[in-house]
Amino acid sequence: MSKREEDRRPLLSSRAGDPVDVVEAPPPSYRAHQAGEDYFADPESAVKPVVFLKDAGDEIRRGFIRKVYTILAAQIGFSVLVGAMMMFANGGSFKHWIAQNVWAFYVSMVVAFISLITLTFVKRQTPWNFVVLSVFTFCEAFTIGTAASLYDSRVVLQAVIITFGLFALLTVFTIQSKYDFSGIGPFLYISLFALIIAGFVQVFLPFNRVADLFIAVIGALVFCGYTIFDTYMILNRLSPEDYIMAAVELYLDLLNLFLYILRILNDLNRE
């Protein structure tokens, strides 16, 4: 008997003795078997996962923003505390210590860079993401505090006030604006690369006051742009689970903006 004949099974029809040939249906595919009943469900009725924050509900958005700015506030508060201690503790003796132990400044920069790279891999792995974030924040606070301790305290205070005020205004402007700021990304990337090159040149061939002031103004404008760009991308292009990296991006924008404003004020006050 052939295979086709084996697959045919006689069933009784309405007329007795009259067989009806029925061919058995093939078994379900492996994919359908693994998916179960959901394989045959209406795709439109399935719950789609939230990919970007802009697609999330109001409660998720508020929770994300609350986490981001709580972490950012903690980072800023810790950095201000460390910077103040380094500037004013023991009558400013830290300046003399760091002058004799410059290696500590460079070590903190390297550790901060390594921890930032590590954070991109563990950003969603609690508690390791918070451990690495703490190391990164401590190293950045030490680096910024070291840099700030080299300036006059009055100039540093002016830079802090201007930076916080400008950062707050740019954040509110971006949140309230309906404009798509994603288009300024390429311009900011090129500008940042140019600033990095200028920084390397300045290490070996220091600029005069006018050139340094010009570069500092450009740097401040670039990081004003980054504050707007990153705030927009965070609120529209990030996943609700990426609140750690969102806080880090804003933290770096704020620190770099502060450093460039500090340079501007120092150049303007230099005789």
DSSP string for 189-210: HHHHHHHHHHHHHHHHS---HH
Domain annotation covers residue 231? yes
Domain annotation covers residue 202? yes
- Identify the domain containing residue 195 by its residue range: 155-271
- Does the pLDDT at position 205 exceed 60? yes
Q: Which is nearest to 70 in space by CA: 247, 240, 229?
A: 247
pLDDT of residue 227: 96
pLDDT of residue 236: 85
Residues 160 and 119 in one domain: no
Give tens-digit pLDDT for 214-248. Answer: 999 999 999 999 999 999 999 888 888 889 999 99
Distance CA 234, CA 198 (A): 29
Is residue 220 within 8 Å of 257, Cβ to Cβ?
yes
- Does the pLDDT at position 58 exceed 90? no
Distance CA 192, CA 213 (A): 17
CA dihedral 30, 34, 36, 42 (to 10 degrees): -80
Distance CA 240, CA 256 (A): 25
Domain annotation covers residue 263? yes
CA 134 to each of CA 78, 101, 249: distance values in angstroms, whole numbers, following the listed order = 10, 23, 15
Residues 109 and 207 in one domain: no
Pick 95 or 229 by higher pLDDT. 229
Mean per-residue pLDDT of the chain: 82
Residues 217 and 252 in one domain: yes
**Range 131-144 average pLDDT:** 95
* pTM summary value: 0.78
Residues 117 and 191 in one domain: no
